[in-house]
Amino acid sequence: MWRPGEHEPPSAVPAAAAAPAASPAKPAISSKLLGMKFMQRRQEADLRGRLRAEEAARADEARWSARAAAGGGAATRGGAVEQSVPGEPRVQLEAEAHAAAATSRAPASVAKALLAFRPARRSFGDFNPKTASALAAVREAQDTARAALDEAAAAAHAAAAVDPGGYDEGTVGDEEMAERYATLVGRKRATQPATELRAEKKRKAGAPEEL
């Protein structure tokens, strides 16, 4: 047992075992490994994919820009109006195109087409002021068109009540329906065989029928 003043006894653990061995450093990927064929093929495939995507995007942009320039600033892709002017909301272009297409129809058709219009973009929480203002204008125009259709329907109903003969095309009044039915019934009776007509007359007169 070691006592104070005496030499310290040697440690029971060897010095080599006391210090942990340093872990070997991870080998870095060498240039030879990076230059192998499968690595080169992968890099070339990625590069070709990026180049094809960029070329397709440029061709698509050039095509729609040319159509927009030829069509007066708005090109359509699959029926939807594309934005060709920077900063102009797409919903405004859609509304203008829809209104331009509807002006060539009758007034009632214009109102119905305006009511059927549904903008493709929305503004949630007023994060897009331009889109919100355009949507408000569309809603106001739809309200006006709905009111005009209601007024036209009320006027047509009032005119029909005053003049029963002035019904709309495609509708038939009660009196005309009765006249048509009487005409059809008379035509059917006229086309009956003569024997049936004689038998019917005898039944009405009370005479016995001939066998």
Give residue for tokens 């049936």: 196
CA distances from 24 to 19, 20, 27, 65, 103 (A): 15, 12, 9, 60, 80
Residue ranges of the chain whose pLDDT lies below 50: 73-88, 103-106, 209, 211
In this prediction, residue 186 carries a pLDDT of 61
CA distances from 9 to 2, 3, 15, 64, 85 (A): 7, 10, 14, 91, 90
Q: What predicted TM-score, i.e. pTM, was given to this entire model?
A: 0.29
67 with 91, same domain?
Answer: no
Report if residue 27 sits inside a domain. Answer: no
Q: How many CA atoms lie within 13 A of 53 on its CB side?
A: 6
Please say which residue of 72, 98, 128 terminates a domain: 72
Report if residue 13 sits inside a domain. Answer: no
**Angle between the 129-162 and 107-116 helix axes, to the nearest 10 degrees?**
140
Q: Number of folded domains in the chain?
A: 2
User: What's the pLDDT tens digit per position in 61-103?
Assistant: 887 777 766 655 444 444 444 444 444 455 555 666 655 555 4
What is the distance between the alpha carbons of residues 134 and 89, in angstroms, rounded to a whole number? Answer: 8
105 with 155, same domain?
Answer: yes
Report if residue 196 sits inside a domain. Answer: no
What is the distance between the alpha carbons of residues 111 and 113, in angstroms, rounded to a whole number? Answer: 5
64 with 130, same domain?
Answer: no
Report if residue 79 sits inside a domain. Answer: no
- CB-CB neighbours of 140 under 10 Å: 10
Report if residue 181 sits inside a domain. Answer: no
In this prediction, residue 85 carries a pLDDT of 45
* Residue (of 165, 188, 161) closest to 175 by Cα position: 165
Please say which residue of 72, 100, 118 terminates a domain: 72
| CB neighbour class for 166 (10 Å; exposed up to 12, middle 13-18, buried from 19) | exposed
Tokens of 110: 């214009």
Report if residue 207 sits inside a domain. Answer: no
Domain with 146, as residue range(s), is 87-163
Helices (H), 35-172: 37-71, 90-102, 107-116, 129-162
Report if residue 12 sits inside a domain. Answer: no
List the beta bridge partners of residue 77.
80
In this prediction, residue 139 carries a pLDDT of 85
40 with 99, same domain?
Answer: no
What is the phi-psi region of residue 33: left when phi exceeds 0, alpha when psi lies from -120 to 50, beta otherwise?
Answer: alpha
| CB neighbour class for 82 (10 Å; exposed up to 12, middle 13-18, buried from 19) | middle
Report if residue 123 sits inside a domain. Answer: yes
